Amino acid sequence: MKEVIEHLQTITFTMGDSVLELSYLIAAIFFVFGLKMLSHPESARKGNILAASGMLLAIVTTILFHETNGEPIKNIGLIIIAIAIGTILGWLIAKKVKMTAMPQLVSFFNGMGGAAAALIAIIEFPRMAPELIETQGMLNGQAISILLGLAIGGVSFSGSMVAFGKLAEKIGDPKLKFMRIINLAFLIGLLAFIVIILAQGHTQPREIIWMAYVLLGVSLLYGITFVLPIGGADMPVVISLLNAFTGVTAAMTGFLYHNQAMLIGGILVGSAGMILTLLMCKAMNRSLLNVILGAFGGGGAAAAHHEAGSVREITVSDAAILLSYSQKVVIVPGYGLAVAQAQHICYEMEKMLEEKGVDVRYAIHPVAGRMPGHMNVLLAEADVSYEKLIESDQINDDLPNVDVVVVIGANDVVNPAAMDDPSSPIYGMPVVKVWEAKNVIVMKRGMGKGYAAIENFLFFNPKTRMLFGHAKQSIQKLIEEIKSL
């Protein structure tokens, strides 16, 4: 007891330390409340600003009050310049990016986070305290956090870049069965190499720095081979999973630097990303292991044994009459609506139909738009009421009472093959059961397949009428016709 008291008496805690720790606590509270506010479109903007304010507070107080061995932070000028460059670039990119490219932007930013964590780890590896190695060897908490940050950060960076390429449709989905074996070999090798480094005993990190670089190289390769075979339809899950990876690396960095704000922020990002990943898997009726193995979404001729049937078209005037004299209308938005930038004109059509006494709602599938929540953000941008955005599993029971369902650019999320074709790669995936409504109008440019690259037999359903053309132009014509009725 006496030794503990003497040790506590040697600990100094300055006013700067107090301010720094308090600022980290406040930043963490801002993160939590900001994340909570992101769950609703009406408060999402404020939540984003609140969380960003927490990060700004943590950065400023760290620069002002953080000390290492009694020495303040050096090169503050370079730090401020780096922050300014990053802020300007991030602002310009975010302002110019189209809403349709938001999934790609998320992947890119997420990859940058993984890259930052990997770079920090590779820099800190040879700088581990010599006395710590002498007393505990390489098997210590600092080494474990560095190696995990290095490995997971490398996987997150390269994997996110591949996901970016896939979402931008610059990288295809190679059908190589042996990729699963390669992935498994890389994963086992990655874990084994971490164990080998930790088993180096009292060897100084500077003497085995080459091992850290090899680990980084293997991590980058594994990130590529991990994401490459995963089909395009699984990209929403992959984005969430890679986001969770980046959160873990941030937490490892926070542990390394004893930075509570970074630690808590990383835990929040990692846990939220993992929860979202599992929710996406549930929404697609997929196991996480199945997604990781890359067994779905890259194409295939589902339901090839069925006869396609005939397609029935509808004119703009007939569609306007059908919508105007309906009691209930449900709109199912998809990636095609985002590409056409038709959310604002769609909202205009909604208001016009409501003036005629029509009840208009939106059926939102969790993975519509190639990213979780993409459709919610898109429609909120057009001032569509959040209360009108109904999750697919909630609106499905009411669809038999709906007079008209208007599908705008959605494909895989309204495919009946998910319900009635065991041979389809999307069989078992929850979808919006639009075919149960009294009438279905599908707006598409042509008969092209969706992101999963499989045939959609909804188009040949007797209740379905196709309205071909550019979504924005078609809706504009519908509005003009509705006005004239």
Say what the alpha-carbon torsion angle 451, 454, 458, 462 is, to the nearest 10 degrees.
150
Residues whose CB is less than 8 angstroms from the CB of residue 61 and which lie 6 or more positions away in sequence, other chains included: 19, 20, 23, 24
Residues whose CB is less than 8 angstroms from the CB of residue 447 and which lie 6 or more positions away in sequence, other chains included: 311, 459
d(CA 165, CA 229): 13
Residue 302 · residue 425 · CB < 8 Å: yes
> What ranges in 38-75 are assigned the alpha helix state H?
41-65
Q: Which two tokens stand for residue 414?
A: 């309204």
Q: Is 259 helix (H, G, I), strand (E, B) or coil?
A: coil
Say what the alpha-carbon torsion angle 40, 45, 51, 57 is, to the nearest 10 degrees.
-160
Whether 318 sits among the annotated catalytic residues: the reply is no
d(CA 72, CA 84): 21
Q: Which two tokens stand for residue 407?
A: 């599908």
Identity of the amino acid at 354: E
Crossing angle of helices 235-257 and 141-167, rounded to 10°: 150
Q: Is 405 helix (H, G, I), strand (E, B) or coil?
A: strand
Backbone angles phi, psi at 447, to 5 degrees: -100, 25
66 CB burial (10 A radius; 0-12, 13-18, 19+)? middle
Q: Is 470 helix (H, G, I), strand (E, B) or coil?
A: coil
Q: How far is CA 458 from CA 209, 250, 302, 347, 370, in A?
A: 58, 45, 13, 25, 20
d(CA 253, CA 23): 18
How big is the CA angle at 86 (ends 83 and 87), to the nearest 5 degrees?
80
d(CA 18, CA 400): 62
Q: Which of 398, 412, 420, 421 is catalytic?
A: 412
- Report DSSP state, residue 170: S
Nearest to 328 by CA among 383, 390, 376: 390
Residues whose CB is less than 8 angstroms from the CB of residue 133 and which lie 6 or more positions away in sequence, other chains included: 140, 202, 203, 204, 205
Nearest to 451 by CA among 429, 469, 476: 429
> What ranges in 363-422 are assigned the alpha helix state H?
374-381, 392-395, 417-420
The most distant pair of C-alpha atoms in the chain lies apart, rounded to whole Å, by: 91
Active site members: 412
